[in-house]
Structure 1
């Protein structure tokens, strides 16, 4: 009887696995076999003479839209393929946003926003009724089966997205109501569909294909440095900079880049004009940074200006327009801005704007000596709902043309994208912010931490990730700072201190010292619980442990061979272990261990 029960259990298990495998296979067959449909600007299906030509070549799909008729047609979008009622509504997923502040997880039935700022809610990017629009990359985790990865491997002209509901997934490409003339075609972005049990290997293949269209903008090592924003904000003074510069020189000279953040400019857009900050002489502060042996870094928001700026008053012809031909107020179609709002947007398709951007960054690079630019508010360079100087250009092209001009002017300087359209930045930035702004609170440590870890695969593959600053001063308990430090270390990306270092304790300074230089390799976690991750470095193997819950928790590390386990921050030995090692962490605590 027991034997029969065992066989029955095995049979049920095999049947269950076959069912799940069948769902995954049916998803792939359905997507590849579904019809592609083009839609006109008014939302109606395009005429029959508008042909969508799809060509699957293994894992990738080439898509073109051709007008075989005799009259032009304005096209809203193309649905490349769709899958309905194949995966259960309980299927977990992860998806990217159009701009860097949006990420989504949860299940198809109950999506969960990871951050505070969504494409549809905060940035007001339209989406179809009844669907959630996500962008660039969609990872599906069917129960009991391999992962499915759908992603757009290029972002040269059009925005690739996915529409999700509880029972349907659509792959779509936004054509922005562009006119397709008779006999002409639009070449759309390439879609990739992968299936496999090892998510890291899928992401390797995905990144390799992205490099085919957008070779990575190389920078040898992830930068390290110090940022003024999280200790002094827009009221930073020259003395604040000098005090921290002297401290860094004496205590931690490995923090190479000294970044002056938002606040030095008189108005948004007037980056070369003199404001009240630094006694009206930001150039002298930058010169002093260089004089003391460090690299000057500065914050710039190149695509925006406010109504009191010289740019707005003298060059309204440089700005993206609204339907009436007037400069587009960003709050009419999107988020208006966080200071000196509403913002207006420089039009990257305008040759005069391209010349302006190239000259601006050449001046800052050559005359001001800046070797690192933090570019913020880059989303506005790809704003929706506006009209460009080049009537045939998309918002992706507007952004990429502006960024190309910036790269020409900045020469060999490091370029960090922040609050940027994520995929349109491929091949145009050395570094990419991978989370919302940091703040000294557990809720932000937790939320931004998950954002960073979901994107850690991008580090060293597409660019260097910027997990935002490591902050180690304040009134929070040690365990929460330990969690934050361990998580930032696990990202393997850029490392900037965000503290007034003249006030840091010796114990926290030691953690900061041990965090530099970053490993340049993100920790590989076993699942999206992000509790146990491993990093292979030149010094050997390290393990990152993270306890996300408020109560103590035991975490176990499997060991390949007998080794001594040491606390990386303190160097304290935790004994010699064989087979596995278990450590109980306090609530909201984190550890970095070295296996020796």
Structure 2
């Protein structure tokens, strides 16, 4: 039987072609193609639930129109209209889609848009088959991977390969509430696959091998509901864009986004750039750099301890100018009770004296709170039980269990009085107590499933209302960090987002010390604190930073409980993320060499690094960024051995300067040698390499001043047998050293000692550099 595949309508731009034919819609680009099918709408009709109807573009009235997409302008597109609604498709740098529905008695809850990669079903090239009741082809790791984005800060984010199981919490009784993000409707075909992978907000599907291609599907906002991308375990892979929809007489989805290209490295950057335009985001505020009380003192903070910590910071480098910090953040433990956000007896004079002292020290005072959270014993819970989020049976919705031993509950942020209460709280904290940095934690509580005061408000919109209230009350200049936060609703409202689970001084998660269960906690890849989980999620979300917000990879822990090589590796992840640089140690426990790690990261790098194309590693072993300053352009590469390994890096076909920052080791790489090899590396160690092609002129090749090995130099002028340069990182440098390539120089002279460490590469030990910088000259 022949199928009529004549196009009913077609639109094109420079890169994409979109057509609607008898099977649905078809998107092509650079020899790749996606085949999309009917939109499936799910919900309840009377006593039954499941698929209500479908909207097939081939059975609708299709018109070519210019489509207005907020923030992106008018784009060429197709509008497919039926009696139940319409599907709007527009071509920008990717395919943009929006669903508009007309419903009467039915209650709509979800929509799904299934599609597949044409040519993805070439199962003859995949030598793996699984036999259960029937034979079927499944996706092996060598065929494809999915870069998963978790629902909120603490949810697993990372690459899953082939049919690898999606990580789930090992303690659902305690932690299930932390992971109630986008979910497929029960009747959706993809939901019947027990090994389906689900990514919230967006997912990045990577097909490997000779037909390497990238498909990114997601949403430009999450206001109508939480949604994302699902990928089945079978071949050919079935991909589904899906989203919740809040009941109402007229429904519009958030704008969806779908791109495809051949193995491109810019896929995520283009997607986040499109989100920026859609929301008309302003440039991000500077990254916070400073100190936090949580990982050294936990909830055991008090007025005297905070004053002592501030004095220690001043004595260890603030007063001398060696520590260029800007933030002092008080974390959990200051409040009477969760929900009652007033100072407890440990702060008998309130918090104003602390903020005054912090500002006098030249720092910004920050504070932790959980504005959507409360516990059963709080005054707010007792006086306003109607404010607490409940389910359809009137039972309080559990927000999960967290340290220090608390069962959380959430506020219904669709109640006007709750918003007034939160705004009053934030105004007090900011405008009366004097805090300029708010760490708003456990924001998932505003987005839990429940029966809300406003039934037409989606749970994603409920968080948007909370964040908008915090922003209104705080004002535009206050820095807001969203933590434990579902990501989509925070776009445009948070200045920074925690992009990982809590870190810890241990690599693997640790639970209660019960024999026979340690393995279970060690394998948790979701919200249990550990350095591994922090690294994995931070790397997966790199390209958000500097576009949607400042990424917060959580605090660095520098004390000796963490091995020095591991502390340097974790610091390198923080540095290359170009996000917040905050440490959390009792300062008397930080040796000088550990404090030098922090100093070397300041100021933060200007942009996040990129990862190489996804391979089958659990955590990527490489991060790369391109930098430029007065000394020219170069690459900074982090090579990470998460297990004992010898790593390699492909270099351009020319001789290169290679400088390893943490060991201050220089080597010359010869093009004839092929790939650069690290040699044996201990588990959880790092090589942070500054890479520069060899040139016939004076070149900066390394320093002990800044991890970038170049951004510290703000001017660089080379003449015949002389070189002048300026170093300035807005902090005092006691023993600066720089490594410079001086072709032809025999005995260079400068104001410091010079030593040749390699042919024509000299290490200069310079005089102290004051906080406002210093200039130097070398003659030969």
2:38 is matched with which residue?
35
| CA separation of 1:164 and 1:509: change in aligned 2, threshold 3 A | same
| Structure 2, unpaired ranges of 5+ | 1-26, 55-81, 122-137, 509-529, 692-700, 702-780
Give the alignment partner of residue 53 of structure 1, picking from 70, 74, 86: 86
CA distance in 2, matches of 1:426, 1:475: 36
Measure how far apart 1:577 and its partner are. 3.7
**Which of 300, 312, 328 is the aligned partner of 2:381?**
312
- Secondary structure of 1:415's partner? strand
TM-superposed CA distance for 1:390, in Å, is: 1.4
Distance apart, 1:541 and its partner CA: 2.9
- Residue 256 of structure 2 corresponds to 191
From 404, 422, 430, give the equivalent of 2:468: 404
Change over 3 Å in CA distance of 1:163–1:552 after alignment to 2: closer
Q: For residues 478-518 of structure 1, what are the alpha-carbon distances to aligned partners after superposition, in whole Å with 9 as ceiling and x for unaligned?
A: 22222112222111111001111222111111111001111
- Aligned residue number for residue 171 of structure 1: 241
Q: 1:277 aligns to what SS in structure 2?
A: coil
TM-score, normalised by the number of residues in structure 2: 0.67
1:242-271 alpha-carbon deviations (Å, 9 max, x no partner): 233223223144221111111111111111
Paired with 1:502 and 1:248, the residues of 2 have a C-alpha distance of: 10
What are the Cα deviations for residues 155-203 of structure 1, in whole angstroms up to 9, with x where unaligned? 2222112333312332211124x143xxxx2110112111123544212
* Aligned residue number for residue 17 of structure 1: none
User: Which residue pairs with 1:377 in the alignment?
Assistant: 442
Aligned counterparts, 1:188-337, within 5 A: 188-197=253-262, 199-216=264-281, 218-250=283-315, 251=317, 252-271=322-341, 273-279=342-348, 281-324=350-393, 326=394, 329-331=396-398, 335-337=400-402
237 and 371 in structure 1: CA distance in 2 versus 1, 3 angstrom threshold:
same
* Residue of structure 2 in register with 1:574 after alignment: 666
Aligned equivalent of 1:153, options 220, 226, 233: 220
Which of 367, 390, 399 is 2:432 aligned to?
367
1:109 aligns with 2:163: yes
CA distance in 1, matches of 2:405, 2:438: 21
Residue 89 of structure 2: SS of its match in structure 1? Answer: strand
Among 443, 450, 456, the alignment partner of 1:392 is 456
Cα–Cα, structure 1 residues 40 and 442, in superposed 2: closer, same or farther, change >3 Å?
closer
**SS of the residue 1:553 aligns to:** strand
Q: Write the distance in 2 (CA, Å) between the matches of 1:391 and 1:532.
A: 47
Cα separation, 2, equivalents of 1:460 and 1:116: 33
Distance 1:546 1:323 in 2: 51
Cα distance in 2 for residues equivalent to 1:47 and 1:149: 26
How big is the shift at 1:62? Answer: 2.7
CA contact (8 A) 1:157 1:394 kept: yes
How far off is 1:139 after superposition?
0.9
Unpaired stretches in structure 1, ≥5 consecutive residues: 1-21
Q: How far, CA to CA, are the matches of 1:124 and 1:408 in structure 2? A: 27
Any idea what SS the aligned residue of 2:569 has? Answer: helix
**Counterpart pick for 1:78 among 91, 104, 111:** 111
Question: Is 1:457 equivalent to 2:543 in the alignment?
Answer: yes
The match for 1:14 is none
The structure richer in strand per residue is: 2
- Secondary structure in 2 aligned to 1:79? strand
* 4+ residue runs over 4 A deviation: 22-28, 47-50, 84-88, 114-122, 124-127, 336-340, 559-563
**Corresponding pairs, count:** 559
- 1:98 maps to 151
Q: Which of the pair has more CA radius of gyration?
A: 2
Structure with the higher fraction of residues in helix conformation: 1
Alignment match, 2:679 = 584
Q: Deviation of residue 214 (structure 1)?
A: 2.2
CA distance in 1, matches of 2:293, 2:447: 28
Q: 1:546 aligns with which of 632, 635, 639?
A: 639
> Which residue of structure 1 lines up, in the alignment, with residue 740 of structure 2?
none
Indicate conservation of the 8 Å contact 2:154/2:502, yes or no.
no
Work out the CA distance in 2 between the residues paired with 1:563 and 1:163.
Answer: 43
Instruction: Give distance in 1, aligned partners of 2:553 and 2:88.
Output: 38
| Secondary structure class of the residue paired with 1:140 | strand
Tell which has more relative contact order, 1 or 2 (C-alpha 8 A, sep 6+).
Answer: 1
C-alpha offsets along residues 370-420 of structure 1, whole Å, 9 cap, x if unaligned?
111111000111111x11121211111111111111001111110111110
Change (3 A) 1:520 1:337: same
**Which sits farther off after the overlay, 86-95 or 121-130?**
121-130
Residue 527 of structure 2 is matched in structure 1 by none
- The alignment partner of 2:285 has SS state of coil
Over 3 Å counting, the alpha-carbon distance change for 1:355 and 1:394 in structure 2 is same
Structure 2 CA distance for partners of 1:146 and 1:164, relative to 1, 3 Å: closer
Determine if the alignment matches structure 1 residue 494 to structure 2 residue 580: yes
State the TM-score, normalized to the length of structure 1.
0.86
Give 1:338 deviation, angstroms. Answer: 4.2
Residue in structure 2 matched with residue 516 of structure 1 by the alignment: 602
Cα distance change of structure 1 residues 195 and 364 upon mapping to structure 2, 3 Å threshold:
same
Contact 2:149–2:540, Cα closer than 8 Å, also in 1:
no
Report deviation, 1:210.
Answer: 1.0
Aligned CA distance change for structure 1 residues 116 and 521 (closer, same or farther; 3 Å): farther
Give the direction of change, closer, same or farther, for the CA distance of 1:566–1:344 in structure 2 (3 Å limit). same
Q: Helix, strand or coil: the match of 1:485?
A: helix
Q: CA deviation at 1:227?
A: 0.6
Shift of 1:365: 1.0
Asked if 1:130 is matched to 2:189, the reply is no
2:511 is matched with none
Q: 1:500 to 1:140 in 2, by over 3 A?
A: same
| 8 Å Cα contact 2:284/2:547 also seen in 1 | no
Taking the aligned partners of 1:437 and 1:344, their CA distance within structure 2 comes to 20
Q: CA separation in 2, counterparts of 1:92 and 1:240? A: 48
> Does 1:414 pair with 2:479?
yes
